[in-house]
Structures are given as C-alpha cells and as structure tokens.
Amino acid sequence: LAKTTQPISMDSYEGQEVNITCSHNNIATNDYITWYQQFPSQGPRFIIQGYKTKVTNEVASLFIPADRKSSTLSLPRVSLSDTAVYYCLVGGRADTNAGKSTFGDGTTLTVKP
Amino acid sequence: NAGVTQTPKFQVLKTGQSMTLQCAQDMNHNSMYWYRQDPGMGLRLIYYSASEGTTDKGEVPNGYNVSRLNKREFSLRLESAAPSQTSVYFCASSGWDRGQTYEQYFGPGTRLTVT
C-alpha cells in the first residue's frame, strides 16, 4: 500500500492561496493521486486527481513533480467555507485496485477571517 | 440519483448486541467500501468489495462481517458490539466520473455508540 504523509494542520486567512503537500515515497507506476475534502459530520468528497505535472479544475490545482514522490494541492483564494480536513490518497484507477489505497489522518485546514 | 445512502443515521447499542448497517448505491459502481472514523482521526478501511460476489478485509476487519447482497447493496454487521466500535461508519462506492476521474463517493455516515 502506498503510504502518505501530510501535515497535521495548517492555518490560513481568507483570500490567501493555500498549498498542502503530501509525501508518497513508494508510489507505484500505475498509481494516481487523489485529494478529498471532508467537512464535519459529512463523508469525504472528491476534489482533484492527477498522475503527473499539473492538473487544474474549477476549485483547485494539483502539482506533481517528475519523480511523483510528493504532490501539492493548491487552493486559490480560500474562504471560511474551505475550513475542512483534506486527504491525499494514492492508488490505481480500477476496480481491481479497490482497497489498495488508504486514507491517512489528513490535514486540518483552518481559514481565519 | 440518490448516490450512496446509509441506514440508520444514528444508533445506540449495548455491549454484546448485534446490528447491521445498510448501504446502497445507485451509480452502477462495481466497488464498495466500509470505513470507520474515530473522533479526530482519519478513515480506516474495514472491508471492501471490488465487485459483486467478492469481499476482502481492509485495515481493521476484526469484529465485523460484510455481505455484498447484489451490485447495489453492501451491508456491515457487528455480531457482538464493543465500546471500541463506537465510531462513525461511512460507506462508499467507486467508479468513473465522466470517464475522466476514478473516485470514491461517500454516504452520509452512521453514528454508532456502544455503551
């Protein structure tokens, strides 16, 4: 299983850009990197997924260096509603890989006014 | 689409009692999962089912059993509840979103307290 390591917590202020880094030194060749967001009393929800270089969608960007041993989730201009726990997950994109990736303890992001 | 639904939302059990948590998805996903989340902690995988008719243990399977009843439904059973099983239980299913990303979709969770 690809183990991931993230900072336990981060603080930011409204309007700032936030970068959360995840380490995954034993990532496999066919593994993708996926980030999830979880609000209190809710299940996690998908934010972004990528394999290499940079991926951008309407809510975030994901930067993956060439060696793929880490990744950085970038949240532009955060607001109070972005206060949540963010999880990095490494695994394959197929049902045959189900259960072969694990959620770590995540990063608790607190956005202050 | 309802997505992933779970019942019940809340449950209180006494030590030694049994119960079954129900989960259903309407997204035609092959894979389904059961996680537990203790206060202030991340999610830990209990069991998963990669496809209909198969189930496998995750990180923390002791004290639990599962049944993949059909493609839609995946249930989790506690045969003899213990206080250490007090947690929030999430069911999830996984599949392709618009053919672009492969992701897990989570239900709203069941809050279980064992006294």
What is the pLDDT, as a whole number, of residue A93? Answer: 86
Contact residues on chain B for A102, CB-CB shorter than 8 A: 44-45, 59
Contact A46 B50 (CB under 8 A): no
The DSSP element (H or E) to which A1 belongs, if any, is: none
pLDDT at B60 > cutoff 80:
yes
- Structure tokens, A10: 């981060």
DSSP structural state of residue A87: E
Q: Which of A78-82, A98-102, A104-108 has the highest mean pLDDT?
A: A78-82
Contact B56 A99 (CB under 8 A): yes
Contact A99 B58 (CB under 8 A): yes
Contact by Cβ (8 Å): B75, B7:
no
Q: How far is A48 from chain B (nearest CA, A)?
A: 8
The average confidence (pLDDT) of chain A is: 94
- Mean pLDDT of the B95-114 span: 92
What is the pLDDT, as a whole number, of residue B98? Answer: 80
Handedness of CA A36, B92, B4, A30 (dihedral sign): positive
Is residue A73 classed as helix, strand or coil in its secondary structure? strand
Is residue A65 classed as helix, strand or coil in its secondary structure? coil
The DSSP element (H or E) to which A34 belongs, if any, is: strand A32-38
